Amino acid sequence: MAGIDTLPPLREVIATHGLSAKKALGQNFLLDLNLTAKIARLAGDMSGCDVLEIGPGPGGLTRGLLAEGAHRVLAIEKDARCLPALSEIAAAYPGRLEVVNGDALEVDPLAHLTPPIRIAANLPYNVGTELLVRWLTPDAWPPFWDSLTLMFQKEVAERIVAAPGSKAYGRLALLAQWRAEAEIVLTLPPGAFTPPPKVSSAVVHLTALPEPRYPADPKVLERVVAMAFNQRRKMLRAALRGLAPDIQDRLEASGIKPTDRAETVSLEQFCALARNIAAV
């Protein structure tokens, strides 16, 4: 017995199907089903939700999500070697698991799922940040998802929840905290994974806000933030001079000193600046 269901332990699954984590795919398998069930619980009540999972691998988190009551799970897996193991899970949970062999950057989840939708994933390291930015910057808000429960390298997780003035504060923190509540809910050591990565990992839970914390045009805000943090060591009047000929005046009108650096400026101030830039 595996504890959460009657399927074999994950080490046995991996041995049976000859699976090994591929560095090229950013894979690190989490084999402790108690941990995968805990991560699933951190995603909240899923009884009335469809769940999107990216990179399920041999299916540890998939099993946790289904055992914890997810109405339906869409698992997008690029590695075809994992499909037989995932098909065994689908057979154990009839009608509740759909597996798509494809690239998560190209698959439209709304073609397969019905809101309310939660996203839960041990994200492959090589696409995790790109996926998060996509989910945080849709054309319309609120987004198609209600919450994100995502595992990243701990350093990336800290960048998502960072406060102004901290070393980790930057573009990810601003994009996440502008439209969502974000918190680190679990930290895992390298030894929890097979093979062990070189760094610790952390699970971040993000809940979509009904509307952004402060008004701003998303594309303008993204441009301002990208330029500001692309040259972190420069004073903002130098880093942003290409945005407007009177950038110093616009900075001051937003409550920002022209000599400030990006890492000291709050989300509210960046949004004010985006509104001022949009008025150019």
Mean pLDDT on 108-117? 95
**What's the pTM?**
0.93
Whole-number average pLDDT of the chain: 94
At residue 262, the 3 state secondary structure works out as helix
Q: Cα separation of 170 and 232, whole Å? A: 9
Q: Is the pLDDT of residue 153 over 60?
A: yes
Residue of 18, 31, 12 lying closest to 195 (CA atoms): 31
Q: Cα separation of 89 and 30, whole Å? A: 16
Q: Is the pLDDT of residue 215 over 90?
A: yes
pLDDT of residue 107: 96
Mean pLDDT on 181-210? 95
- Cβ–Cβ < 8 Å for 223, 240: no
- For residue 6, give both structure tokens: 């009657």
Own/partner long-range contacts of 134-138 (Cβ < 8 Å, ≥24 apart): 134/105, 136/175, 136/176, 136/179, 136/180, 137/175, 137/218, 137/222
What interhelical angle do 60-67 and 33-42 show, nearest 10? Answer: 50
Question: What torsion, rounded to 10 degrees, do the Cα atoms 260, 262, 267, 272 define?
Answer: 60
pLDDT of residue 246: 95
pLDDT of residue 1: 36
- Cβ–Cβ < 8 Å for 82, 58: yes
Q: Is the pLDDT of residue 149 over 90?
A: yes
pLDDT of residue 3: 65
Letter string b/e over residues 240-259, b meaning 16 or more CB atoms within 10 A of that residue's CB:
beebbeebbebbeebebeee
The number of beta carbons lying within 10 Å of the beta carbon of residue 187 is 12
**84 secondary structure, DSSP code:** H
The confidence band for 279, taking pLDDT boundaries of 50, 70 and 90, is: confident
Q: Cα separation of 37 and 63, whole Å? A: 8
The helix or strand, by DSSP H or E, that contains position 127, with its residue range, turns out to be none
Q: Cα separation of 280 and 199, whole Å? A: 44
The number of beta carbons lying within 10 Å of the beta carbon of residue 18 is 8
- Please write the tens of the pLDDT for every residue from 44-54: 999 999 999 99
pLDDT of residue 23: 77
The confidence band for 195, taking pLDDT boundaries of 50, 70 and 90, is: confident
Question: What torsion, rounded to 10 degrees, do the Cα atoms 43, 211, 133, 188 define?
Answer: -30
